[in-house]
A and B are shown apart, each in its own frame.
Chain A
């Protein structure tokens, strides 16, 4: 399974949606994922990829991890996987 499909699976589960309903340009807000849901998703992502995601809920825009869309999240995780397991 690609990083993209795995991430979409995690986000879909959090949002209680079918993976097909999660598009690359969706935002977490579009999907109804709140701040607590976001923290839970990041935890699931860290577990799934065995990586550490630099994210502080107090300053999401200043974290090194861009969460503005599903595409950005996938891109960020691909980078982290390469860095931490490359």
Chain B
């Protein structure tokens, strides 16, 4: 089996339009959540989110591209540009033939659905733009990366709600580890912050009206975010030979299914994914210094996740740090694991643990070191990233310092 390393990272999210800006915000514990701005927002009872601001697609993309790129594709291409540039890879010849793209998204082109349903239902129009289908399809973003960068190997999109990115990155990891591909572009993208997207979530009554406060006793729900996180996963020797900068090693992963409830999380399902990732990476529980939590800020997730961590790590659960950066960038649904992987890279490479901001009251059901409100310096050799989706589908990645 090959070793797999990360040689490029890119993002756009409510905290920043690139990786350096995002990491500075995480380090400073800045909150990217604020009032939502889009059409009909006044008809929503949930009016906050981690929206990407000051992002003008016009100017970045030409007119023809604009007709094909939903906002989730735009985010993907912006993040992919940063990640691939950092990696220094040029996809030509044999590398291009074997490298592909595996991305996660839960909703795909949600605002394209929204805009066009509005046109035909509300405005009574009887005609939509000819590119509505290629614009809204879940694999649009994946395909546009493949087209833009000449990636001709295996490419597809994974959709497992809030675990989409972690499932996608696990697939890309497996492909590189097995020798199937020398490099893969992977991560995820999501853009559900439009009237229909937020209205659907409102119905579940799990959204907070004021803030995302993971692990805090007074937490009252999740806050949605948007954006993308894209990475280049590369075979270690391939990266070493060309002298590429290595951000971190992807050491292992595991996936599990709760097989119980469509929305309520399961401690056992989460614990099996966490311990499975450790076993796959051949790590001992004591090796783990930091966990980037799923930490949605809902009553159910946070206590279940803490109980799962306590089960897997035993006494060591009290020695490790676990934080939820959703408090800052919101819950990016299908892109969340990808943006959160940046916090793991920061922990491993820079020795900085991103905080859980908005933490106000101790909750005995979340009695772990959640790195409240302020970032912390620590030497971290191994970090995990948790993602537990609606539908009971879990995926955990294990990263190691190189």
Contacts and interface: CB of A to CB of B under 8 A. Distances in A.
A42 B206 CA distance: 13
A58 B208 contact: yes
A20 B298 CA distance: 35
Determine which residue in A52, A59, A62 has the highest number of CB atoms from chain B within 10 A of its CB, and name it: A59
B220 A39 contact: no
B378 interface: no
B205 A42 contact: yes
Nearest to A52: B45
Contacts of A55: 205
Q: Which of A35, A43, A62 has the most CB of B within 10 A?
A: A35
B204 A57 contact: yes
A39 B298 contact: no
A36 B262 contact: yes
B221 interface: yes
B24 interface: no
B206 A58 contact: yes
A58 B204 contact: no
Contact of A58 (B220, B261, B264): B220
Q: What is the predominant secondary structure among interface residues of chain B facing chain A? A: loop
Contacts of A34: 264
Contact of A43 (B203, B208, B219, B262): B203
Interface residues of B, number: 18
B203 A58 contact: no
Contacts of B298: 57-58
Contacts of A52: 45
Interface in A44-86: 52, 55-59, 62
Nearest to A40: B203
Nearest to B205: A57
Contacts of A36: 261-264
A65 to B, nearest CB: 11
Given A35-B264, A36-B262, A59 B220 contact: yes
B247 interface: no
A58 B206 CA distance: 6
Interface in B174-231: 203-209, 219-221
B299 interface: yes
Nearest to B209: A56
Interface of A: 34-36, 39, 42-43, 52, 55-59, 62
23 contacts: A34-B264, A35-B263, A35-B300, A36-B262, A36-B264, A56-B205, A56-B206, A56-B207, A56-B209, A56-B220, A56-B221, A57-B204, A57-B205, A57-B206, A57-B298, A57-B299, A58-B206, A58-B208, A58-B219, A58-B221, A59-B220, A59-B299, A62-B220
